[in-house]
Amino acid sequence: MSVRVSRRSFLKLGAAGLGASSMAMMGFAPEQALASIRHFKLTGSTMTRNICTYCSVGCGMLLYTRGDGAINVIDQVYHVEGDPDHPVSRGSLCPRGAGVLDFINSETRVKYPEVREPFTNEWKRISWDEALDRIARHMKDDRDRNFETHDDKGQLVNRWLTTSMVAASACTNETAYLTQKIARALGMLVVDNQARV
């Protein structure tokens, strides 16, 4: 079940009288009427529930997106605030969480796969296929060359120590589980994460 809440149910949830958002609708001429009150910027948006990506309190977040999920629109998050139902955060967000919009929409998001060739000074945009083909080739070449079936005492160890993997701190458990499964199947031991750092 998706908890992405449609506009209609958002209204039903009782998040205030959104219908009466525009003073102009009430028959006032805008400049005379109350240009001082800003148009309510959440009217008509889609609200999706999420959990903050920063620290381990795990505050509830409401992500407001432009677009209603119709096929002809690319949704974009344009406002974030706290989820008042969340038993820990009760609607609050700290300065990091309150500013998470500028992380989501940061100009320094990576947008395309890129490669920096040895000894060069630039990024080169490449396709996903090229990127993953080349990485898989590197991995296999190294694994085939350096895989240890036995250690120097002749004990069976079946491990690959020359490529390391450091895992994220904010990815999902499902991603983490897939990572664990793959890393051990490859025989990797040099695996760590950002706990403690």
Query: Residue with structure tokens 């491990």?
Result: 159
DSSP lists the bridge partners of residue 60 as 51
**Chain centre distance of CA 41:** 23
DSSP 188: B
Is residue 138 part of the contact set for another protein (CB under 8 A)?
Answer: yes
**Closest separation between CB of residue 34 and another protein, Å?**
6
**Closest separation between CB of residue 14 and another protein, Å?**
9
Among 6, 12, 68, 99, binds another protein (CB under 8 A): 99
How far is Cα 79 from Cα 101, in angstroms, rounded to an integer? 6
Among 3, 25, 70, 71, binds another protein (CB under 8 A): 3
Token pair of 130, please?
Answer: 């090229």
Is the Cβ of residue 8 or residue 104 nearer to another protein in the bound state? Answer: 104
Is the Cβ of residue 8 or residue 106 nearer to another protein in the bound state? Answer: 106
Is the Cβ of residue 8 or residue 154 nearer to another protein in the bound state? Answer: 154
Is residue 22 part of the contact set for another protein (CB under 8 A)?
Answer: no
Query: Residue with structure tokens 């080349």?
Result: 134
**Closest separation between CB of residue 31 and another protein, Å?**
6
Residues 6+ apart with CB under 8 A from 169: 193, 194, 195
Is residue 184 part of the contact set for another protein (CB under 8 A)?
Answer: yes
- Residues 104-133 close enough to bind another protein by CB under 8 A: 104, 106-121, 123, 128, 131-133
- Residues 42-81 close enough to bind another protein by CB under 8 A: 46, 48-60, 63, 65, 67, 74-77, 79-81
Q: Edge to edge, what strands does the sheet with 46-51 contain?
A: 46-51, 60-66, 76-82
**End-to-end Cα spacing for the chain:** 36
DSSP 117: -
DSSP 49: E
**Closest separation between CB of residue 11 and another protein, Å?**
12
Is residue 143 part of the contact set for another protein (CB under 8 A)?
Answer: yes
Is residue 134 part of the contact set for another protein (CB under 8 A)?
Answer: yes
How far is Cα 137 from Cα 129, in angstroms, rounded to an integer? 12
Is residue 97 part of the contact set for another protein (CB under 8 A)?
Answer: yes
